Amino acid sequence: MGESSEEICNRLLAAVSSNPAGVINDDVVKLSSDITIEQRVSGLNKLLQQGLLEILQKGDKLVYRAKDPKKVSLPKGADNEEKIVYAIVEEGGNKGIWIRDIRIKSNLNMTQLNKILKNLETKKLIKAVKSVNASKKKVYMLFNLEPDRSVTGGAWYQDQDFEAEFVDVLNQQCLRFLQMKRDSALEKQESPLTTKQLACCSVKEVHKFISDLGISKVKLDSEDLETILKTVVYDGRAERVPLADGTFAYRAIENALGPPGLVQIPCGICPIIKNCSDCGDVTPRSCKYMSEWLD
């Protein structure tokens, strides 16, 4: 089965994006030699219409250059209503904007607005993204933006489901690394102060350890690992040590008391906890993860 027009467009866009200064037409042909002329021309025209590429004349050569995804503009011929709605969605950035807010700001009725949103989605200028804030609602943002973790839930959510087992595995492995570092420091039989210093682990060290293990199917950044390390601290198995540069190191400790189990509470690493309240779409009473934890 041949490639779809969307796949061809993505390939052409990747080929042009390989050089920020632009790619001449001859090089585009070389980079996509396995597709037909008709497919190439159609794909390039579609990318130009979507505002993802621009075409320049340098001497006697045509140069295709990828536009900044954050500065994609509406194609010529868009009506005023589309321009208004696009501008409102653009203001929402990578956190998106609810359709209710778009309707209020645009002063359009729902029939008009739904039609415009559908047209803009079809043209791949905007996209609808499901938000972990409310499972039945979507937010709209520009097509080429990566949704903020407050919308997707970050690495801890998959298809809006909280990955409790994944978090638990990461918690255990981070603790194991801290304990290995502590045991290694104790074996050196240095002074108590030096031993404590040697037992400290930076977030960067823990991040490398977890990455090398290959236990995560999603890409984790240092912020994700620091979130997990904080759960180890909340669990009473490690301490957080402030450093001179304003960052923190982590060190495994022995706790005479049993772990409080706070790490198991979904609130501990919930990316939208700041939106949780007694009323609204996000409440402890309606949280299925809290209900599962209490059962």
The answer to whether the beta carbons of residues 130 and 138 sit under 8 Å apart is yes
| Check whether domain 157-294 has CATH 2.60.120.1440, yes or no | no
pLDDT tens-digit readout, 39-84: 888 888 888 777 677 777 676 777 888 876 555 555 555 677 888 8
| Check whether domain 5-67 has CATH 3.40.50.12660, yes or no | no
Q: Counting Cβ atoms within 10 Å, is residue 189 exposed (0-12), middle (13-18) or buried (19+)?
A: exposed
Give the helix ranges, DSSP H, for 188-248.
192-199, 203-213, 222-234
pLDDT tens-digit readout, 27-51: 888 877 778 888 888 888 888 777 6
**Distance of alpha carbon 13 from its chain centroid, rounded?**
21
pLDDT tens-digit readout, 2-21: 567 777 888 888 888 878 77
User: What is the domain partition of the chain in residue ranges?
Assistant: 5-67, 80-152, 157-294
**Distance of alpha carbon 193 from its chain centroid, rounded?**
40
Confidence of residue 1 (pLDDT cuts 50, 70, 90): very low
> Are 80-152 and 157-294 in the same CATH fold?
yes
Q: Which two three-digit tokens encode residue 260?
A: 């409080």
What proportion of the chain, given as a percentage, has pLDDT over 70? 82
As beta bridge partners, residue 61 has 58
- pLDDT, position 154: 66
**Distance of alpha carbon 73 from its chain centroid, rounded?**
23
Please compute the mean of the pLDDT values over residues 130-135 and round it to a whole number. 70
Distance CA 267, CA 46 (A): 45
Nearest to 125 by CA among 179, 72, 53: 72
The answer to whether the beta carbons of residues 82 and 108 sit under 8 Å apart is no
Q: Identify the weakest region by mean pLDDT among 18-32, 94-108, 114-128.
A: 18-32
- pLDDT, position 269: 62
- pLDDT, position 181: 92
The answer to whether the beta carbons of residues 156 and 111 sit under 8 Å apart is no
Distance CA 165, CA 156 (A): 10
Q: Which two three-digit tokens encode residue 102?
A: 């778009």
Residue 159 reports pLDDT greater than 90: no
Residue 228 reports pLDDT greater than 80: yes
Please compute the mean of the pLDDT values over residues 190-208 and round it to a whole number. 89
Distance CA 126, CA 132 (A): 19
Higher pLDDT, 148 or 116: 116
| Backbone dihedral angles phi then psi of residue 56, each to the nearest 5 degrees | -125, 155
Strand bridging mode 61-66 / 201-202: unpaired
Q: Identify the weakest region by mean pLDDT among 177-181, 218-222, 227-231.
A: 218-222
Could you please state the CATH topology (level 3) that the domain comprising 80-152 is classified under.
Arc Repressor Mutant, subunit A (1.10.10)
- pLDDT, position 175: 92
Sign, CA dihedral 258-262-264-265, equals positive
Higher pLDDT, 172 or 287: 172
Residue 184 reports pLDDT greater than 80: yes
Longest dimension (CA), the chain: 78
The answer to whether the beta carbons of residues 156 and 269 sit under 8 Å apart is yes
Nearest to 195 by CA among 247, 253, 257: 253
Q: How many CA atoms lie within 13 A of 228 on its CB side?
A: 30
Please compute the mean of the pLDDT values over residues 176-188 and round it to a whole number. 91
Higher pLDDT, 61 or 238: 238
| Backbone dihedral angles phi then psi of residue 34, each to the nearest 5 degrees | -90, 5
Other beta carbons less than 10 A from residue 180's beta carbon? 14
